[in-house]
Amino acid sequence: MDLRELHYLIAIAEEKSISRAAERLYMAQSSLSQFLSMTEAHLGYRLFIRTASGVRPTDQGKRLIQFARDTLTEFHRAKDEMQDISELKGGKVILGISSFRGSFLLPPVLQTFRTRYPGIHVQIVEENSLDLEQMLLTGEIDLALLVMPEKHSRIQTRFLMNDEICLITHPSHPVMELVHQGQDGQHPSQLSQYIDIEEAAQFEFLLSGYDTILGREARRIFLRHGINPTAYNENLSALFAASLGANGLGLAFTYASSRQYFHKAQLLSLGKDGTSIALGTAMAPGRYHSKATQALDQVIFETLGR
């Protein structure tokens, strides 16, 4: 089997569906099915059991999938070691980050990194923090910028910064008549103005889904205050919600670090309801970390570290 075929097996196992794996691999479903049938015939074992809802690996399949992952991990290790021989003159780093956070945090990092190491390419993978943790464990990415996991996590994270959750709107939005100047004395903030959520509750909110940090935090605040907000859009992506809020179409939740992206918008601290998330970087555990990966990690800290 070649490396490409190892990726085929892993994709089928992770997607639990030949059709979804084929879409992920940008190939015809019939071609992937043919590959699997020929591989099973060659080995003399069924690798996957077909079910009404998809496929699941047999015991023999699980062993071959683990072999595929181990082989690809060693291959990437060898590539990293060979890349280091060039002394940062060439190579590639695979960086994982969430789509929303990457929109405003990553551009200055990549600009600095490209200026300093023009021969090294950064491949970006966009996923949520939980998925990025898993991708680090499987060795699919070299480095991630993510929300720091709980202490029992199998990955080790290096603290980068605290990012405050706040509201975003346009300076002309009527909520601006209710803002307080300065900071809530007991709750220091990065922002110069704050709003009481109960005062803001009369306006329309633009919300992210329950499966996002901003979506969950917003609903916790509303529940704590017994607020049933007006929200005609409750399952937007974090970036879309913040973009609409920045253009005056409602109030949305965002992170204080996004002010460099939405530089014409108004960001408001939540005062006593304010909270922050801890961001950090993490490298794939148990793997050789190339000089390029370490260099990108260093540039992230130089550019974004607080």
pLDDT tens sequence across 112-161: 999 999 989 999 999 888 889 888 887 789 999 999 887 667 888 999 99
Task: Write the pLDDT tens digit of every residue in 46-72.
Answer: 999 988 888 999 999 999 999 988 888
Instruction: Give 83's pLDDT tier (boundaries 50, 70, 90).
Output: low
Gap between the Cα atoms of 194 and 265, Å rounded: 14
Instruction: Give 86's pLDDT tier (boundaries 50, 70, 90).
Output: low
87 has a pLDDT exceeding 70: no
Tell me if 184 sits within 8 A of 194, measured CB to CB.
Answer: yes
- Structure confidence at residue 152 (pLDDT): 67
Domains in the chain (CATH in brackets) are 3-72 (1.10.10.10), 89-161+279-304 (3.40.190.10), 164-276 (3.40.190.10)
- Structure confidence at residue 233 (pLDDT): 94
Tell me if 10 sits within 8 A of 62, measured CB to CB.
Answer: no
Query: What share of the chain in percent tops pLDDT 70?
Result: 94
Helix/strand/coil percent split, the chain, to 5: 45, 25, 30
CA-nearest of 247, 205, 255 to 100 is 255
- Structure confidence at residue 180 (pLDDT): 92
Gap between the Cα atoms of 174 and 191, Å rounded: 19
Cβ neighbours around 281 below 10 Å, total: 22
